[in-house]
Amino acid sequence: MSASSIRGLETPEGVPIQLELASVGDRLVAVMIDLFLMNVLGIFLAIIVVLTGARGRAELAAAVMLVVFFLIRCFYFPILELRWRGQTPGKRATKIRVISRSGGPLTAQAVVARNLLRELELFQPMVILLAPAAIAGGFPAWVGLIAGLWVLVFALLPLVNRDHLRAGDLVAGTMVVRAPPMLLLDDLGAARGQPALQFRVDQLDIYGAYELQTLEAVLRLGNTLENAGALTAVAEQIQKRIGWTPGTERVGPFEFLSTFYAAQRARLEQRLLLGERRERKRPAAPTAP
């Protein structure tokens, strides 16, 4: 999760939630899966119509097929996005989802509008790329070329704006985000059976929230063999910085860091309750070389 792709969203209850934008690559894969499924669905239904109803009623079968193809082309995306709360099979596979940028509900109008513009962004560019004559038909080639460029500008829109919004998102007030994984890790501060190391208040007043959460990330890597080097290095660094002298009992780097983490978090959270939030560590004392 990189900071540049995090977007804030305020729920109607007034609580901001942070979400990660879906990448253009994910969205491209999703739309390709969906296009593939649309084709499979169309061919499948066509086979059913031909096998069941076509005998002697070819015209009726053709009529049914026309309507079915039309419905798939125009309503595959909107119906699925409405029923599956902003997802289609392609979006489910890539774990992304459409949401309203305002934090409110995703309305039917918005869903229809954002998919209406696929005509401009997806279907017309595909026609231009696959069969340029269909656009220019009857007109000189340069008209087709200009029309093609004109339409491609809109197809490439998601690549040139910060939120990867496509024209449909602009019009519908939506954006596409990654569905966040819900995983509650153990509370490192609640671990029991730690050696009773004591830290002085001035030792706990050096680091801030940023260092604490970096330490948390290091600890979550676990006390494993391949992690041992990193743990030792971090432990030594901290011990040096806070001027900690080992007492009688010997503790390994992981035990030291876990205990220090709990003590440091307790201290910072205590100060947080009093309204003092320390983001970063204090600069090193001027006496240090």
Q: 48-107: which residues touch another protein (CB under 8 A)?
A: 57, 59-60, 62-64, 66-67, 69-70, 73-74, 82, 85-86, 97, 99-100, 103-107
With CB under 8 A as the rule, give the number of residues binding another protein: 87
Query: For residue 78, which of 39, 46, 109, 120 has the smallest C-alpha distance?
Result: 109
Q: For residue 173, state whether it binds another protein (rule: CB under 8 A).
A: yes
Which strand (E) or helix (H) includes residue 142?
helix 141-155
**155 or 285: CB nearest another protein:** 155
**What are the angstrom distances between the C-alpha of 106 and each of 14, 24, 97, 114, 171?**
17, 21, 11, 11, 13
Query: Per-residue b/e over 31-46, b at no fewer than 16 CB within 10 Å?
Result: bebbeebbeeebeebb
Beta carbon of residue 1, minimum distance to another protein (angstroms, whole number): 9
**Residue of 125, 216, 227, 244 that binds another protein (CB under 8 A):** 216
- Binding to another protein (CB under 8 A) within 7-36 occurs at 9, 11-13, 15, 17-19
Assess 274 for contact with another protein (CB under 8 A): no
Asked whether 175 and 7 are in contact (CB, 8 A), the reply is yes
Q: Which of residues 99-158 bind another protein (CB under 8 A)?
A: 99-100, 103-114, 116-120, 124, 137-138, 147, 150-151, 153-154
Residue 100 β-bridge partners: 174
Name the DSSP class of 198.
Answer: -
Q: Does 221 bind another protein (CB under 8 A)?
A: no
Residue 69 CA to residue 46 CA, distance in Å, equals 9
Is residue 218 a contact point for another protein (CB under 8 A)? no
Mask 174-213, x = binds another protein (CB under 8 A)?
A: -----xxxxxxxxxxxx-x-x-x------------x--xx
Q: What torsion, rounded to 10 degrees, do the Cα atoms 113, 124, 71, 173 define?
A: -10
The answer to whether the beta carbons of residues 198 and 245 sit under 8 Å apart is no
Q: Is the Cβ of residue 51 or residue 134 nearer to another protein in the bound state?
A: 134
Out of 21, 31, 257, 262, the residue judged to bind another protein by CB under 8 A: 262
Q: How many residues does the chain have?
A: 289
For the CB of residue 287, give the shortest distance to another protein in the complex, in Å: 29
- Min dist CB 286 to another protein, Å, is 28
